[in-house]
Structure 1
Amino acid sequence: MMIGHALSRVEGPLKVTGKATYAYEQWDEDGVSPLYGFIVGATIGKGRVTRIDTARAEAAPGVQMVMTHHDTPLEGVPDDSVAIELYRAFPALSSPDVHHYGEPVALVVAATFEQARAASHLVDVEYSGEPGRYDFAAFQDQAYAPEKMVFGIPVDTAAGDFAAGFEAAEVTLDQRYTTPYAFSLPLEPHACLVVPRGEDLIVYVSTQIVDAARTSIAATLQMDAERIRIVTPYVGGGFGSKLRIHHETILAALAARALRRPVKIALTRQQTFHLVSLRPTSSQRVRLGAGRDGRLVAIAHEVRMHTSPEVEFVEATAITTRSLYAAPDRLTSHRMVPLDLVRGESVRAPGEAPGLLAVESAMDELAHELGMDPVELRILNEPSVDPEHGVPFSERKLVECLREGARRFGWEHRIAEPASVRDGQWLVGYGMATAIRRHSQTTATARVRLEADGTAVVESDMTDIGTGTYTILTQVAADGLGLAPEQVRVELGSSEFPVSMGSGGSWGAGNSSTAVHRACAALREKLLATACGDARSSLHGRHAADAVFSGGRVSIDGASEELREIVERLYPDGIEAEGSVRFMSEEPNYQKYGIHTYGAQFAEVGVDADTGEIRLRRMLGVFSAGRILNAKTARSQLVGGMIWGVSAALHEEGVVDTRSGAFVNGDFAQYLVPVHADVPEVDAVMLDGFDDKANAMGAKGIGELGICGAGAAVANAVFNATGVRVRDFPITIEKVLPGLPQTDV
């Protein structure tokens, strides 16, 4: 069995030698040098362009074009009837209106990137500014209830009578937690190269969903999608920011069509903060009512978050609370506050990451109030069925995660009284939290072909965003056909291949591996039907149901033949088959069971007793996600998510200038993320499992599970170390220092 092995990345040598070609590194194969585009962004947050003078820029060295709203071709507009927003048109430079700071007002195209960037400063723009809404706290009175959320998730839910249950509870907690604007900042910038081919376009773009990119570009440019070819074999991270295409792709396509030349655009890191969407800021009110024994009787999780007035995005922040703990009286809701800022979109673990930061902090507060161990409080409130839907869980090993995590971490050594443990200058604390993430299934199709030389080729437009897709699909195909991994070649990220919903929402691995698994099954069936009916084959007349594929051979009842021989004799041009996965709304299991992934996060921190400096000392996560497809890449994903959770708790915060709507900390010098010195020891452990209700592979997504609950574990450890409870994230020195215990000088 190849599945589950810690196989090293099959594309690893290409990446470390620089031979894996990313979007911006592509070059037109005809030898024609591409032109380079640079986006000019608005310097106001709300209003209109009243005058734009491009003469000086057009006269600058190397400049080929300066495009503004005056000369942009007619573009398509977003069609609300398209269910998933990622597939809708995304017009750019379509009007003089400015909806947020940094929105494109011009595109400069020149022979080199440096020439385009230099000329961008020569575009003279005048504006008529309007009062903008930039301050989240100041516009709470404009909050409204959205009509829907993604995938049909209910906006609000209720069970029993929360108000009565909360009032009658013996112990109550009523707190508000705030999370900041957060950004996806992948190592590979948002970039593309668009090459015109007559009326066709080849688009090399860094995107997570090939079909969404193709459909959105076609709708925007009002052209037949069949005339667009998307190519994205390698994606250097996405974290949700590349689920859809953005301005750079549309503008490069417009310029390439107008100039009949290849055009490249890459966003600078600073531009990313205003031209790529973000995780909305949130204010979350969490109310917990419990008996003195710790059993929850009432739960409410009410969320307010920012949204763009033009494009509503509702992050399902309260969704975690619905299936995590049970209580007879429950209430969850989502409300939107419209602000004139860049639009919100999915950021890694959308909803679960900020939601668990609040709820799991609240559970720790309740445990402290009750004088209970936080692990035992959670185990006490473990539901037997999904509280929201009243259906059984498909596979739920949360208690096992908690028990195993506590054992491995040494949780029994925790001192419950805050600010009780010192290590020299450092106050030391332990914290923990649970993790849950809804497992989703979307559509996917894969094609597997056996060549006459006995090798297999896997094709799908599925993307590898650095998560190891090439490797796990190699393993699934090798396992399904009885081949060595070296005999399998996986080709991804092209619109010429069968369609999937790509990488996102932690559905990519489960979808694509199941599709390949089914394609291999169909291919085996085809091969056996012909081989067993072929008088020239040693398998002739034998029962196909007894066949074993292993070592590049097919064996039945002692008879054996090489796959290569069968294919070469019967299918000299190769033989192929496809396998598909349907959307979860068409799969009965997704209505009959609560299908989730789970984890338990444990953290130890040190807080300097004088300065309030916070340092993570060690961290452990124990996770349950069904069958693990590759132990090495899975652990890598989980550890990466845990580090992101540390970042959410202690580092990341987008700060808005409420006068202009600009994010004032738009680079890594001021928008802080963890570096190696911030993360000394992090470990992730995966429990054995197989969720047969999720898919035929028994596997569920893990890409975002690692971040879930991680930040709350760190926050709870800070409280245990200091006695200071910070509910406004991130936790910084300024918020901790005033409450530190006084020491004798």
Structure 2
Amino acid sequence: MTAHLKQDEPDTANFLDTMKQGVLGKPVSRIEGLAKVTGTAPYAAEYPVENLAEGVLVTATIVRGEVVSIDKDAALAMPGVLAVIDDKCLTTRAAQGTANEAPQQNPRKVDYWGQPIAVIVAESFEQARDAAKHLSVEYREEEGAPLDPSAVEPEEQEDETVDQGDLAHAMARADHAADLEISTEGHASAAMEPHAAIAEWDGDKVTVYASLQMLNYNITELADSLGVDEDRVRLVSRYVGGGFGSKLGVSEEVVAAAIAARAVGRPVRVVMSRQQVFQCVMRRSETKQRLRLASDGEGRLDGFGHEALVSNLPEEDFAEPVLQSSHFLYGGKNRALKLEVARIHRMTAGSVRAPGEAVGMPALEVAMDVLAEKTGVDPVELRIRNIPDCNPEEDLPFSSHKLAECLQQGAEKFGWDAGARKPRQTRDGEWWVGTGMASAARVHNVGEARARVTLRPDGTAEVRTDMTDIGTGTYTIVAQMVGEMLGLGVDDVLVQLGDTDFPRGSGSGGSWGGASIGSAVYLACRALREKLAKKAGTEESDLALRNGAVEGGKSLADLLDGQELSEEGHYEPGEIADTHTASGFGAFFAQVRVNRFTGETRVDRMLGAFGFGRVLNAKTARSQCLGGITWSIGAALTEALHFDPRDGHLVNCDLAEYHVPVNRDVPEVEVLMVEERDPVASPIQAKGIGELGMCGGAGAIANAIYNACGARVLDFPMTPDRVLAAMPD
């Protein structure tokens, strides 16, 4: 049976708060942790499939044009080579964007340097790699492919355009105004596990073991690429070594493995090299942004402007949603927001952790810091004064709003000095020391999700769903939800994830996974509780389950009496998404030191305070916040994709040259969770946290750099040369 809910109304019952097990929300360690640290958890390239052949991708060495010919015969004559495949379906450009786009099928067209154009299959990886390295490819190159976003006429994204009131007039009459241009460089997801897939066919059915985030969409994408029905495709992705958006859609290694395995008649594994991951898996777009803020004498906004230029390949739908939180975070009745896309020939731009807010929020928060200085209002107080009562553009109520509490509690915990703020007030030897802060916001979304929960005769439970765990803790929070609802310990719940033979979950992306799949599991457990209540002779609302038994009554095993009970929960977002603005909120506080001679910045400490509904697991939620803050440090100080302006190839295409923060870059970090119940967000009153932890954090570091040394750096990352150049004499 299926317990279905399409959420059109707020769920104010807070039913979970009446449960007796007391396991939900607790800092339970990951139930799959032991398998991971002992190396027994199989990742995409590690499934024990016999008779594997190895595939290596061949990538284009031109920016734009066509493949004229490939010397397959020479490659096939090399030792161990089984096939050279340049199938027209190999290029799945659009599948790297949003997860529900259909792949583009341009057989020999090349759109960017590094685009996969063929796969070579051999008996060993070394043989395939050698043949790929020596494969002779003839191109017809088109000259003049645009590479610089500033050099082309952009396309306006009309659905992002807002023009309310008269911003220009508001700026002219304002007591205080800020008008800034800020840029951010592109980012890579840089997940630890490279993209990999193993494919094997059994007749006309294919099973692909891959590293993917959204199996519910990925199965459709792969079926379309192969020209088969979905019931002929099975995807398995039980463990994912990080995705951060790069594995939302199927990318070339998945399609290549499936096509190659069909061609050679045996299983094929394709693993991208680290360089290939950087060169051909989607990037976060660079941005150029203009911020305009107009306020009265007390810092209350009358005018708000945010414009952004981003880039993508021609014909791609995705545009980095830079303005996403700007639409509702602060007030100001005179508003002008605009997003434009430049069509250039770099690899596909798509979702990287916290798309939009990760780069839009830091720019906005730097502008707010400039305004705070001009008005003489403490930066924390300035933000509190500008929290709107409702969405200022759509006049919708907020589902809940914890920004003020996060700002206040975070400031108190951090030891924020609300006095007069001037740069260069504290020096420690050759280091200037300063503090800064920023708000955080991340829109809340939920997705359709299904999960089946089975109570077995021995009183233990099993959950099945194709939902993935990309390192965020899905295995554990699902076990906690079942344990809480059915009165079981976490060890008594078997969680089976990442297989399209199971009911379709929401997938892991957009910070919607926990709330979405948690709601489906919740609904299945409510249905099971109804059956158990009948067996116990009571109402479901009065059924108290704890430690595998009805309180004061029978054990679950005795109650089941040898019977198995199974229910499927089916959750869908409903009309409530159109009647409220739902978001997580938070605040960042940072202390940095800046070397007065070299411009080097070191982050001494950071604190993040976040409100995101019900906390499902205090340990995994804190871990997500820590990860987000670490990403903020990278975005602020080190991370940038650099492209050769002559041919468009990515220069820093590995972890040696693309500088993510390492242990010594990450200081003491504190996380404060401002828990709440949001009845609009989901039936379990939870919202996403996976991305909120980095939405604005880089702005807090930028503001701290200014407070430390007086360098107002308007280009991210704030590398030492940029800090030195911005330092006052």
Same fold judged by TM-score > 0.5?
yes
Per-residue Cα deviation, 1:676-722 (whole angstroms, up to 9, x for no partner): 11112111110121111211211110000000110000011111111
Aligned to 1:87: 100
Conserved in 2, the CA contact under 8 Å of 1:78 and 1:88?
no
For 2:565, the equivalent position in structure 1 comes to 575
Which of these residues, 594, 604, 614, is aligned with residue 617 of structure 1? 604
Does the 8 Å CA contact 1:45/1:661 hold for their aligned counterparts? yes
1:568 alignment partner AA:
D
Q: Are residues 1:673 and 2:660 paired?
A: yes
* Partner SS state of residue 582, structure 1: strand
Q: What SS does structure 2 have at the residue aligned with 1:214?
A: helix
The aligned residue for residue 317 of structure 1 is: 322
Match of 2:112 among 91, 100, 104: 100
Give the aligned residue type for 2:575: E
C-alpha distance in 2, partners of 1:580/1:155? 32
Percent identity of paired positions between Structure 1 and Structure 2: 43
Give distance in 1, aligned partners of 2:540 and 2:293.
Answer: 59
TM (norm. structure 2) is 0.94
- Cα deviation per residue 1:171-224 (whole Å; 9 max; x = unaligned)? 221111111111111111111101111100001010000111110000111101
Q: Establish whether residue 553 from structure 1 lines up as the match of residue 549 from structure 2.
A: yes
Matched, 1:109 2:114: no
2:428: which partner in 1?
Answer: 423
Asked if residue 694 in structure 1 is aligned to residue 706 in structure 2, the reply is: no
Q: Does 1:10 align with 2:46?
A: no
How far apart, CA to CA, are the structure 1 residues paired with 2:89 and 2:329? 48
Could you report, residue by residue, the CA deviation over 1:225-258 in whole angstroms, capped at 9, with x for unpaired residues? 1010110111110000010010111111110111
SS at match of 1:375: helix
- Structure 2 equivalent of residue 24 of structure 1: 45
Match of 2:263 among 233, 242, 258: 258
Shift of 1:405: 1.1
Question: Among 485, 492, 495, which residue is 2:490 paired with?
Answer: 485
For 1:545 and 1:344, the matched residues in 2 are separated by: 49
Count residues in correspondence.
Answer: 707
Secondary structure, aligned partner of 2:327: helix
Q: Which amino acid aligns with 1:457?
A: E
1:59 — aligned with what?
77
Distance 1:193 1:91, change over 3 A: farther
Deviation at 1:79, TM superposition (A): 10
Q: CA deviation at 1:134?
A: 4.3
Matched, 1:728 2:715: yes
CA separation in 1, counterparts of 2:491 and 2:275? 42
Distance 1:736 1:551 in 2: 58
Question: Partners of 2:426 and 2:721 in 1: how far apart?
Answer: 22
**1:350 to 2:340 alignment:** no
Structure 2 CA distance for aligned equivalents of residues 137 and 122 of structure 1: 34
2:451 to 441, 446, 471: 446
> 1:594-743 maps to which residues of 2 (within 5 A)?
594-742=581-729
Partner of 1:534: none
Q: Which runs of 4+ in 1 moved over 4 A?
A: 73-80, 541-545
Quote the offset at 1:77 in angstroms: 8.9
Deviation at 1:658, TM superposition (A): 1.4
Q: Which structure 1 residue ranges, 5 or more long, are not aligned?
A: 148-153, 532-538
Q: 1:564 aligns with which of 538, 557, 563?
A: 557
- Please give the secondary structure, in 2, of the residue aligned with 1:87: coil
Q: Structure 1: how far apart are the matches of 2:692 and 2:541? A: 39
How much does 1:502 deviate?
0.5
Q: Distance in 2 between matches of 1:74 and 1:373?
A: 57
- Please state how far the C-alpha of 1:161 moved relative to its aligned partner: 2.2
Unaligned runs of 5+ in 2: 1-21
Q: Tell me the residue number matched to 2:12.
A: none
Contact kept, 8 Å, 1:76 with 1:89, in 2: the verdict is: no
1:587 matched to which residue of 2?
575
Q: 1:170 aligns with which of 166, 175, 180?
A: 175
The CA distance in 1 between the partners of 2:104 and 2:84, in whole Å, is: 17
User: What residue number does 1:507 align with?
Assistant: 512
* Pairing 1:334–2:346 present: no
1:195-234 alignment, distance < 5 Å: 195-234=200-239
Q: Which has the higher contact order (CA 8 A, sep 6+)?
A: 2
Distance 1:513 1:77 in 2: 32
Q: Match of 2:134, SS?
A: coil
> What RMSD over aligned residues (CA atoms) do the two structures have, in Å?
1.8
Aligned mate of 2:193, from 177, 188, 191: 188
Report if the CA contact (8 A) 1:214-1:229 is conserved: yes
